[in-house]
């Protein structure tokens, strides 16, 4: 996993303020925020989200910590759960059928309720945007106040020679018709949940 950013966090806004602001902004965008005090709480939080959304097939991004525990908890409750693996055949077919995609997020921005996700493979990137429900897990040590607070992280990752895509997502996808009526979930997930893991 990437190094923690706790020592580089801006001192002007305390962590609890950033968490509260992120929760408020995400709600205003139509998303939901959940808090996990420890990694062991993740499987049950995810299970509750998945059951409430009536999901039957979950795709779990390959680099998620605790993915074995998450998968085991979901399968015990009758939900098919698959990891995205390099060697897994028919990955795109599974992605197109999945109800929920579970991913990490490298950073989160409290002012805009944005999660920043760095991926090196198309399959991992699609986990966040093909299923109708997206669950992103991000450490509170990576929750910053403003997008400009993430500048050093972005520069560091964009200047490497490794292939990567950095995605910015703020709540469910949305678009407007000719009368400017907003519709959610047209070009991406209908439902977005962010789990802030307090570490």
* Separation between Cα atoms, residue 128 and residue 106, nearest integer Å: 13
In 3D space, the residue among 123, 125, 135 whose CA is nearest the CA of residue 51 turns out to be 135
The pLDDT of residue 43 is 96
In 3D space, the residue among 83, 53, 197 whose CA is nearest the CA of residue 137 turns out to be 197
The pLDDT of residue 174 is 55
In 3D space, the residue among 38, 97, 91, 46 whose CA is nearest the CA of residue 67 turns out to be 46
The pLDDT of residue 12 is 45
Tell me which fold the domain 11-197 belongs to: Rossmann fold (3.40.50)
The pLDDT of residue 185 is 43
The pLDDT of residue 187 is 56
Tokens of 157: 């990752």
The pLDDT of residue 11 is 45
CA neighbours within 13 Å on the CB side: how many for 52? 12
Could you list the pLDDT tens digit for every one of the 199 residues in the chain?
A: 334 444 454 444 599 999 999 999 999 999 999 999 999 999 999 999 999 999 999 999 878 878 899 999 999 999 999 988 755 677 888 888 999 999 999 999 999 999 999 888 888 889 999 999 999 999 999 999 999 998 888 887 777 777 788 899 998 865 544 454 544 445 568 999 999 999 7
The pLDDT of residue 3 is 40
């Amino acid at each position: 996993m990437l190094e923690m950013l706790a020592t580089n966090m801006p001192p002007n806004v305390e962590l609890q303020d950033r968490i509260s602001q992120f929760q408020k902004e995400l709600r205003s965008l139509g998303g939901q925020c959940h808090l996990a005090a420890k990694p062991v709480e993740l499987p049950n939080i995810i299970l509750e989200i998945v059951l409430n959304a009536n999901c039957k097939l979950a795709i779990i991004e390959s680099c998620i910590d605790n993915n074995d525990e998450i998968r085991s908890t979901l399968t015990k409750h009758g939900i098919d759960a698959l990891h995205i693996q390099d060697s897994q055949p028919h990955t795109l077919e599974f992605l197109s059928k999945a109800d929920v995609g579970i991913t990490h997020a490298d950073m989160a921005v409290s002012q805009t309720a944005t999660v920043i996700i760095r991926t090196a493979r198309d399959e991992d990137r699609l986990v966040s945007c093909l299923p109708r429900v997206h669950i992103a897990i991000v450490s509170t040590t990576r929750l910053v106040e403003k997008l400009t607070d993430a500048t050093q992280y972005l520069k560091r990752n964009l200047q490497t020679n490794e292939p990567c895509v950095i995605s910015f997502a703020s709540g469910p996808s949305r678009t407007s018709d000719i009368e400017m009526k907003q519709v959610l979930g047209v070009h991406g997930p209908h439902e977005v949940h962010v789990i802030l893991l307090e570490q």
